[in-house]
Amino acid sequence: MNPAEQLREAADAVARLGCSSADLAALPDAAVLTGQREIAEARRLLEMYAAWMAATIADRSRPELGHSGLAAQ
């Protein structure tokens, strides 16, 4: 499974936990522990995407690109 599919599955798993803090508070203990793991996985995947995006921005903003670099725009 590719990272995009993993992220979609992780986000879906988190969304199934509920729509409010009251929904999460009503979960049984086992679901709370599972939910915490699902949130951690979604966060890990998002951080990976954030790192990839930061690397892309840094590459497109290299000093040698001057005013045509992404950051300068």
Q: What is the value of pTM for the model shown?
A: 0.83
* pLDDT in the model for residue 19: 96
**Ranges of each domain in the chain:** 3-68
CA 38 to chain centre: 12
How many CB atoms sit inside 10 A of residue 10's CB? 19
pLDDT at 9: 97
pLDDT digits (tens, 9 = 90+) for 26-63: 999 999 999 999 999 999 999 999 999 999 999 999 99
> Which amino acid type is present at position 61?
S
